[in-house]
């Protein structure tokens, strides 16, 4: 595009200056060269692996900035390259034949044939003197090894604390799908994903918000471990709320892979940075895996217009003197209603001239099969004073007796009968 060309809402504009165009072009050439080099290594079968981590390798040239001595760095380097890992196998005793951990925490290692003379237990096994215990998900680990399901282990050294650790991991089974009608039973929780929090609201089976809005915040600044812990903590609180009330969770099926480029949004850097910072892929993967462990159903809905229609139809009705609903809270209600199969837009009252109950039209009408649906309302007994007149509580009688075509509140389409031939 020409330099300086103005953009619009649907099409990006050109770069601001020749300098910006030059910098972007040079960056494109650098990335193209890196891509060619990576493709050449892949075709030749060359794989670059740094045992211990590439970051630790680069730290060797900046020991003073890292606050390490050469001996300390060397200890970390050796510890990073010295570990023992073994994948599990279902059907084997306690889920792993190479590194076996009993329910009591006893760890034994199957030695290879050249080291069989070092075994201190039968069948060529070496039993460690120390025992292990799992504080996190220990019950799940115990359930797996008692049924001989696969568990992978990794033994590594932490030079900072001066300890050896044993890490257990396993693969989460495929998520079981349930009918949508079953997931909607009892209502659900609508969740709106944002850059710094999850906005949620509980809805009943009719799509009405219940209780107060919920907010589960997280901070995505700092290291990758900190960001992952923040997301996991927010999802745990959400899942515990859904499990406590026996509800499913409705989320948007967001995917910003092709929606955060400059070609899509032009110079709107703030907006592109906002959607780039939303961890949609990580949230989706974490939520599905954690919900499968707890037996909670996840319903993914179309994200189109949920924020706009939610703010238009639900933000104002849900705002009271004691509660100020945000745009994100209204979007959570819209997501939940869409998951329940209800329209997001609220039903509006007809004009006053078309209301049959004298400025008191009820927007929520009875179902077609409700008994006495067309009968008059019962009169509310009370003192006959000037403020309450006789018969004031009674309303119009059976409306089917009026001169109207068909039932006045029918929901099925009606057709006018053909005119008689005598006319």
What pLDDT does residue 270 have?
Answer: 61
The overall average pLDDT reported for the chain is 79
Say which CATH architecture domain 180-340 belongs to: 2-Layer Sandwich (3.30)
Q: Domain-by-domain residue ranges, the chain? A: 1-45, 54-169, 180-340
What pLDDT does residue 336 have?
Answer: 92
Helix 306-313 to helix 327-340 angle (10° resolution) is: 110
Q: Which residue has the tokens 């891509």?
A: 35
What pLDDT does residue 300 have?
Answer: 87
- b/e burial code for range 237-273 (CB count within 10 A of at least 16 → b): bbbebbeeeebbbbbbeeebeeebeeebbbeeeeebe
pLDDT in tens, 389-420: 544 444 444 434 333 334 443 333 333 344 44
Backbone torsions φ then ψ of 308, nearest 5 degrees: -70, -50
| CA–CA dist 195, 419 (Å, integer) | 64
The three-class DSSP label of residue 208 is: coil
| CA–CA dist 260, 266 (Å, integer) | 10
| CA–CA dist 417, 409 (Å, integer) | 19
| CA–CA dist 306, 408 (Å, integer) | 34
Q: Summarize the confidence of residues 157-165 as an average pLDDT.
A: 89
Joined together, the tokens standing for residue 369 give 């099969």
Q: Is residue 103 scored above 70 in pLDDT?
A: yes
Helices (H) and strands (E) in the chain, counts: 12, 11
pTM: 0.56
pLDDT in tens, 330-363: 999 999 999 998 888 776 666 666 666 555 545 5
Does the CA dihedral 90-91-94-99 come out positive or negative? negative
Using a 10 angstrom Cβ sphere, with 0-12 exposed, 13-18 middle and 19 or more buried, the burial of residue 346 is middle
| CA–CA dist 191, 307 (Å, integer) | 12
Q: Is residue 364 scored above 70 in pLDDT?
A: no
pLDDT in tens, 229-275: 888 888 889 999 999 999 999 998 865 454 545 555 555 566 555 55
**More confident site: 261 or 141:** 141
What pLDDT does residue 331 have?
Answer: 92
């Amino acid at each position: 595009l020409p330099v300086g060309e103005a953009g619009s809402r649907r099409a990006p504009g050109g770069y601001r200056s020749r300098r910006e165009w030059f910098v972007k072009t040079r960056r494109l050439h650098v990335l193209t060269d890196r891509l060619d080099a990576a493709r050449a290594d892949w075709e030749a079968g060359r794989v670059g692996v740094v045992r211990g981590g590439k970051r630790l390798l680069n730290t060797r040239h900046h020991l003073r900035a890292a606050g390490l001595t050469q001996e300390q760095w060397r200890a970390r380097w050796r510890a990073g390259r010295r570990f023992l890992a073994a994948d599990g196998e279902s059907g084997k005793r306690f889920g792993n034949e190479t590194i076996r951990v009993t329910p009591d925490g006893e760890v034994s290692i199957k030695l290879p044939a050249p080291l069989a003379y070092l075994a201190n237990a039968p069948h060529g096994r070496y039993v460690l003197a120390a025992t292990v215990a799992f504080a996190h998900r220990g019950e799940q680990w115990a359930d797996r090894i008692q049924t001989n399901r696969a568990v992978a282990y990794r033994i590594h050294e932490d030079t900072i604390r001066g300890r050896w650790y044993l890490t257990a991991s396993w693969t989460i089974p495929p998520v079981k799908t349930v009918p949508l009608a079953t997931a909607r039973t009892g209502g659900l929780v609508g969740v709106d994903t944002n850059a710094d929090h999850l906005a949620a609201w509980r809805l009943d089976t009719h799509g009405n918000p219940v209780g107060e809005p919920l907010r589960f915040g997280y901070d995505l600044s700092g290291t990758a471990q900190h960001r992952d812990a923040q997301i996991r903590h927010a999802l745990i609180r959400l899942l515990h709320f859904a499990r406590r009330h026996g509800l499913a969770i409705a989320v948007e099926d967001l995917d910003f892979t092709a929606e955060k480029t400059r070609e899509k949004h032009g110079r709107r850097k703030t907006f592109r940075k906002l959607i780039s910072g939303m961890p949609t892929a990580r949230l989706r993967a974490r939520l599905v895996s954690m919900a499968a462990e707890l037996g909670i159903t996840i319903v993914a809905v179309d994200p189109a217009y949920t924020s706009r229609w939610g703010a238009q139809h639900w933000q104002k009705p849900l705002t009271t003197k004691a509660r100020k609903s945000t745009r994100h809270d209204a979007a959570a209600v819209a997501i939940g209603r869409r998951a329940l199969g209800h329209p997001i837009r609220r039903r509006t009252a007809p004009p006053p001239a078309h209301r049959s109950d004298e400025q008191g039209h009820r927007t929520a009408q009875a179902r077609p099969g409700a008994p006495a649906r067309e009968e008059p309302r019962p009169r509310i007994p009370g003192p006959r004073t000037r403020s309450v007149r006789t018969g004031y509580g009674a309303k119009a009688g059976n409306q089917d007796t009026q001169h109207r075509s068909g039932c006045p509140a029918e929901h099925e389409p009606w057709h006018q009968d053909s005119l008689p031939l005598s006319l």
